[in-house]
Amino acid sequence: MTEAEQDYFWDGYLHWADLMDRAVDGPAPSLEQVALETEMAVYEPVFVRVRNGLCPVSKNRVERFLQGPAPFANAEMLALPELAFLSGQDLAFDINDLLIGLEHALLADAPLEFFLYRPLAHSMAEHQKYDSIFEVIDLGAPALYSPAPAPFMALVPQESAGQPLPQAQVIGAVIDNDIGFLNTTFRHRDGPDAGNTRVEAIWLQSRECLASTPLPPINAVQLGRILRKPEIDAMIHDDPRDEVRIYGEINDALHVWDPFRGPPPGDSHGTAVADLAYGQDMCASDNPCAVPLMAVQLPPEAAVDTTGTYSESYIVQGVRWLCAEARRRAPQARLVINISYGVLAGQKDGGKFIEAQIAREITLAEALGQQVHVVYAYGNSLNTQQVARVQIAPGATSDPLVWVIQPDDPVPNFLELRTLTSGRMPHLASLPEGLAVTVTAPDGGQVIQAAPPPGTAVPPLGATRNGAPVRLYHAPERAVNGRPDCLGFYNLAIAPTRRIDPDLPIAPAGDWRITITNTTSVPVDLVFQIQRGDTAPGFNIGGRQSFFEGIAVPVVHDGHPGWDVAAPLTNEGTCSAFASATHPRIHTVSAQKDVLGQITAADYASRGAPWVGSGDATQNRVVDQVFTYGQRTVGTYSGTGARLSGSSGAAAILSRELVQAGSLTI
């Protein structure tokens, strides 16, 4: 078997996303079934860089195209010779995201980068098919490529793209799930626009599908539906349906899986974050809080999956769209984007795709005269026993690290094993050759004893790529010129402990033991991180967080009693792996509590580490009091209430400050 014919994977998360998507859970058809019934294929989002960019002649054509009266319906852009590869039958793309890439390439002198879609790659040969044309920077989770509902056109006339906002000095934006955009908290309170929505545009994302287009033979992809102010105002003033019915019927048209096709829950994370950040209910009486708003509502599949496997590509696409939408409508306005999503395990030096690309979007926006701030929640994982640090001498074997996998868990569990460099200021690096992993099942049987080279897995991926109760992937280092390296790491996956499909394996719950043998000639300093695998707020899929067995010890912090974990477990590096990039307009926010006038870290507030790129959170905000947790917010529907705690609440508070006058000194 040649190298190009070897079975291929990007990482364990995406391999298991494919397996889970092909599983049948109750009434939900698998992607494979739907693909067969509709004669469509399962595709995956791929963020690419076109190798040769645009030639001067094409740049002139693109400039005329971008300045034309109706760029969204202009076929001239698709006739560029550099984009001829998009006219084939095996690639598809989102026209709006391609437009953003062209704008960056033309006006910011950047390489041409954008999202496209290809059939799911199962071999190295399939993965490398277009290597001569573009570089693959990152992959997303599998997406169903099927016909879109007729009313939701991806190609819209320029006059429908929203009116300019010449008076806007700042725009507030949020990327989250289940955003109650009809809620009265997002309406103007005073003035001639009283009662109308402040939401200028909201992108209701859904799993990708084939869009209707007047430009054959291209394969255009559509990700949900964009609503703009006139349509939202019509829903508010002229639609006889109540909010529950409107949301329910929108979701019924957008989503494939039955559990997601109804109205959202009464309490939703996205609505609470948006209200605390920009809502009327949080405004003082002398502040009408009239800033225009934009939003991206993530697909429910992205919200349900707390590992971040599904959400990364959608969040990045959302940031790109928000920057472009705000720039076209109000180029003079600063844009504040709240992202209160996060995962625990990761590279944490700014090199993870979502971190690097969003930092890049901020820089590209600046080159185009736009100021963008991004606010991340820093994490709530203190004392969750998800991080351990172990040093191993040459030739030695570590003591067993016990990974507790919980019963009745319908989703897989993941662990990342990474290494730290030596020296006074260590940082994460790619794994060295010669680290042998032994995994012992709860019944005492050894299921893995191997040191797989980069790009391979144990047990190996066969022709059917079936799942295994436990599999060790060695995700290789990946480098793209001008970007941070994606470091190589071991990605250990354990199957669900609850049977959800007859074709998927299950793993026994209980104590799994992991030991590492260092066969190198130098000491190694290892960081183990368990990935989030719990249930996201507002969803009920039954995910149960795994953890390391360990000891809790009493400590005194800021004069108050508390708890900490004992070695080898650590709370250093429990921060979100989305929130480590360093940039003056990237803000990472941790939660604090007010204990009778003394401000201290919240009981759950994640910590940074010397080896984390940003070191620690850049900001802290008080969310909790000594007897109460969280801040009062609205529920999803007008007139209802909820509370929001955690670093999501802290990030929302900072986002509100950033939209207020004079806040840029923060």
**What is the set of domains in the chain, with CATH numbers?**
3-144 (no CATH), 169-380+575-591+605-665 (3.40.50.200), 387-565 (2.60.120.380)
Q: How far is CA 501 from CA 20, 60, 506, in A?
A: 9, 54, 9
3-state SS class at 494? strand
Structure tokens at 333: 């306005």
Q: What is the pLDDT of residue 38?
A: 47
Half-sphere exposure of 582 (CA within 13 A, CB side): 7
Structure tokens at 400: 């067993």
Amino acid at site 199: V
Half-sphere exposure of 39 (CA within 13 A, CB side): 0
Place of tokens 């016909």: 147
Among residues 491, 376, 484, 461, the alpha carbon closest in space to that of 137 is found at: 484
Q: What is the pLDDT of residue 422?
A: 85
Let me know: does 545 contact 406? Beta carbons within 8 Å: yes
266 Rama class: left (phi>0) / alpha (psi -120 to 50) / beta: alpha
Q: How far is CA 192 from CA 14, 186, 189, 196, 232, in A?
A: 50, 16, 10, 9, 17
Structure tokens at 522: 């130098």
User: What does the alpha-carbon distance between residue 320 and residue 434 come to, in Å, rounded to a whole number?
Assistant: 41
User: What does the alpha-carbon distance between residue 270 and residue 296 come to, in Å, rounded to a whole number?
Assistant: 10
Q: Sign of torsion, CA 211 214 220 226?
A: negative
3-state SS class at 336? strand
User: What does the alpha-carbon distance between residue 25 and residue 5 come to, in Å, rounded to a whole number?
Assistant: 32
| Angle of helix 56-66 versus helix 95-107 axis, rounded to 10 | 120
Q: What is the pLDDT of residue 149?
A: 57
Other CB atoms within 10 A of residue 54 CB: 20
Q: What is the pLDDT of residue 35?
A: 47
Let me know: does 182 contact 245? Beta carbons within 8 Å: no
User: What does the alpha-carbon distance between residue 285 and residue 24 come to, in Å, rounded to a whole number?
Assistant: 52
Q: Which residues of the chain have pLDDT under 70?
A: 1-6, 24-41, 65, 67-76, 144-161, 212-217, 284-288, 537-542, 661-666
